[in-house]
């Protein structure tokens, strides 16, 4: 088949040339080639792109490297996230164990009941303060003190262990010189007529 020359206007020819040059530039520039091929294929599905295979030969290894790097980065991030979660869980457990130890210590130290300990925990939450000792002190202060017991006082009104207030010389002598006090008491017993009569029976 011989080439056929079709006469066209000059402006149409110039437009055709510029369009062909623009398409060649778009298809030849790596930055725009893929998009240009996609647009052309939408209009002409049978279009062939000689540069695509060459471009793919260069880009395919790069895509593989990028994908491998992406997967390695994701795996590293997953390991770091898992480690951070384990460390955070261990720290939470440590804090919980420490808090329980302090609460049990306060319960034993102050002799608090379970109800009183719940009041301590409530006070800590209200004040947003983890100080167990301070909360326990506030709860202890808020408990009404029992009134003094009347009518069951069997103790003497005053204690006079050395006989000073009562003027009891014998009682005072016992504490000043116990040996001399004992000797005096034994002599007094020996001189007692009742004691002598018991010895003659």
Burial (Cβ within 10 Å: 0-12, 13-18, ≥19) of residue 106:
buried
pLDDT, one tens digit per residue, over 52-103 is 767 677 778 888 889 999 999 999 999 999 999 999 999 999 999 999 998 9
Distance CA 179, CA 12 (A): 147
In this prediction the pTM is: 0.41
pLDDT, one tens digit per residue, over 93-142 is 999 999 999 899 988 988 888 898 898 899 888 888 888 888 888 888 88
Helices 132-142, 50-110: axis angle to 10 degrees equals: 40
pLDDT, one tens digit per residue, over 139-186 is 888 877 777 666 555 555 666 665 556 666 766 676 677 777 778 777
Count CB atoms within 10 A of the CB of residue 38. 9
């Amino acid at each position: 088949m011989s080439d056929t020359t079709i006469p066209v206007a000059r402006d149409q020819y110039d437009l055709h040339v510029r369009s062909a040059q623009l398409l060649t530039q778009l298809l030849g520039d790596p930055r725009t080639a893929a998009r240009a091929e996609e647009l052309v294929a939408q209009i002409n599905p049978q279009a062939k792109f000689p540069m695509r295979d060459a471009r793919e030969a260069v880009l395919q290894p790069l895509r593989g490297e990028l994908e491998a790097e992406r997967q390695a980065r994701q795996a590293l991030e997953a390991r770091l996230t898992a480690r951070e979660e384990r460390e955070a869980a261990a720290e939470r457990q440590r804090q919980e164990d420490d808090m329980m130890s302090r609460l049990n210590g306060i319960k034993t130290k102050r002799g608090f009941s379970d109800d009183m300990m719940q009041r301590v925990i409530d006070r800590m939450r209200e004040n947003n303060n983890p100080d167990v000792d301070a909360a326990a002190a506030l709860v202890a202060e808020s408990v009404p003190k029992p009134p003094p017991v009347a009518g069951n006082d069997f103790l003497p009104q005053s204690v006079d262990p050395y006989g000073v207030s009562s003027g009891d010389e014998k009682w005072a002598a016992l504490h000043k010189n116990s040996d001399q006090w004992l000797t005096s008491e034994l002599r007094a017993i020996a001189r007692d007529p009742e004691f002598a009569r018991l010895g003659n029976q």
